[in-house]
Amino acid sequence: MKSVDLIVPCYNESDVLDLFYKEVCSVIEKSSEYSFSFIFVNDGSRDNTLEIIENYAANDSRVKYLSFSRNFGKEAGMLAGMTYSTADYVGIIDADLQHSPELFLEMLEAVDKEGYDVAAARRTDRKGEAKIKSAFSRRFYSVINKMSDVKIEEGAQDFRVMTQKVVRAICSLPEYNRFSKGIFSWVGFRTKWFEHENRERAAGQTKWSFIKLLKYAIEGIIGFSTAPLKISFLSGMLFSVIGLLYAVYIFIDTIINGPDVAGYPSIICLIIFLGGLILVSLGIIGEYVSKIYLEVKHRPIYLIDKTNIRDDNQ
């Protein structure tokens, strides 16, 4: 029998975890072809998420868990789950029931029976989401796909099933700044896409504020593209050329018409404009330097406080 690990990143999910666990159990129990295990990753929750998970683990031998020493973010949670997974097939699913367990089974079949290495869900609509959020999100995909070499599917979600081979490939990428959507696409492999309707969260609240999403978007662009550096270089070149031509023009004008003391406003405008441009360019370089700084420190991506998984499979 093929084994399946179901990774569930959880951050303050005590309101929804029972619903999730019951629904997923009832779905996977219908399928007798696979042996399922859960890998719950408690990402430093401040509510009693960990107690709930420990309780499941005490009564259900399929439940494994990892608990972080603090909140490290969903990216770290997914990585930890994948690092500790040993099953033939590995799935990632949100704890809030926005990802349908029935679709999970369909995705699993695609990987198991149709020869795909990855089955991933793509969101078809953005119902129940703020207009401004969807607009920003759409822009983000168009910008990152123009700037970067890897193609990121619009609406791609972290909801997916992979073979152990793909999971090993993903875990072999050592970077500290992990933008999973980019990493999933960077590793390649044969992927089948599933359209997935947006479902309301079953209970609890989203952990993604607008600012958090904006930071995530910048992370994605900086992590998977060096185009911003080229843009700042090219605009620097462009303005140097304009400045040079302007200097030549002033030189000739002075010879023909004599010196001119007017032009104070234009100088101020130029200074402010170019000053701004220089600061923006430095800022862009700074973003990359700060990422390099974090990478060279080689800090662990997460720290585990408690787990019921024996370390010998790590």
Of 313, 271, 305, 257, which Cα lies nearest the Cα of 65?
305
Q: Is 206 in the site for ligand UDP (CB under 6 A)?
A: yes
Q: Is 50 in the site for ligand UDP (CB under 6 A)?
A: no
Q: Which tokens sit at 102?
A: 């029935």
Least separation in angstroms between CB 96 and ligand UDP? 4
Q: Does 73 bind ligand UDP (CB under 6 A)?
A: yes
**112 scored as a contact of ligand UDP (CB under 6 A):** no
Neighbours of 7 (CB within 10 A): 26
Given a contact cutoff of 8 angstroms between Cβ atoms, the answer to whether 55 and 62 are in contact is no
By beta-carbon proximity to Mg ion, the closer residue of 13 and 112 is: 13
**What whole-number distance in Å separates Cα of residue 71 and Cα of residue 305?**
11
233/209 Cα distance (integer angstroms) = 33
Q: Toward Mg ion, which CB reaches closer, 12 or 148?
A: 12
43 touches ligand UDP (CB under 6 A): yes
Q: Which token pair is 192? A: 């089948």
Is residue 118 exposed (0-12), middle (13-18) or buried (19+ Cβ within 10 Å)? buried
CB 196 within 8 A of CB 159: yes
Strand order in the sheet with 191-196: 191-196, 118-123, 156-163, 89-92, 2-10, 34-42, 63-68, 304-307
Helix (H) or strand (E) holding 156: strand 156-163
Q: Give min distance, CB of 217 to Mg ion, in A.
A: 17
Q: Is 13 in the site for ligand UDP (CB under 6 A)?
A: yes
Contact region for ligand UDP (CB under 6 A) — 21-29, 73-81, 109-117, 188-196? Answer: 73-81
- Orientation angle between helical segments 74-84 and 164-171, nearest 10 degrees: 120
Stretch that binds ligand UDP, among 95-103, 144-152, 167-175, 243-251 (CB under 6 A): 95-103
Nearer to Mg ion, 96 or 112 (CB): 96
Total residues at interface with Mg ion (CB under 5 A):
3
Looking at 11, 84, 140, 159, which residue binds ligand UDP (CB under 6 A)? Answer: 11
77 binds ligand UDP (CB under 6 A): yes
95 binds ligand UDP (CB under 6 A): yes
Q: Which of 85, 98, 157, 232 binds Mg ion (CB under 5 A)?
A: 98
Question: Which of Mg ion, ligand UDP, none does 112 bind, CB closer than 5 to 8 A by kind?
Answer: none
Question: Which residues sit at the interface with Mg ion, rule CB under 5 A?
Answer: 94, 96, 98
Question: Which residues sit at the interface with ligand UDP, rule CB under 6 A?
Answer: 9-11, 13, 43, 71, 73-74, 77, 94-96, 98, 201, 206-208
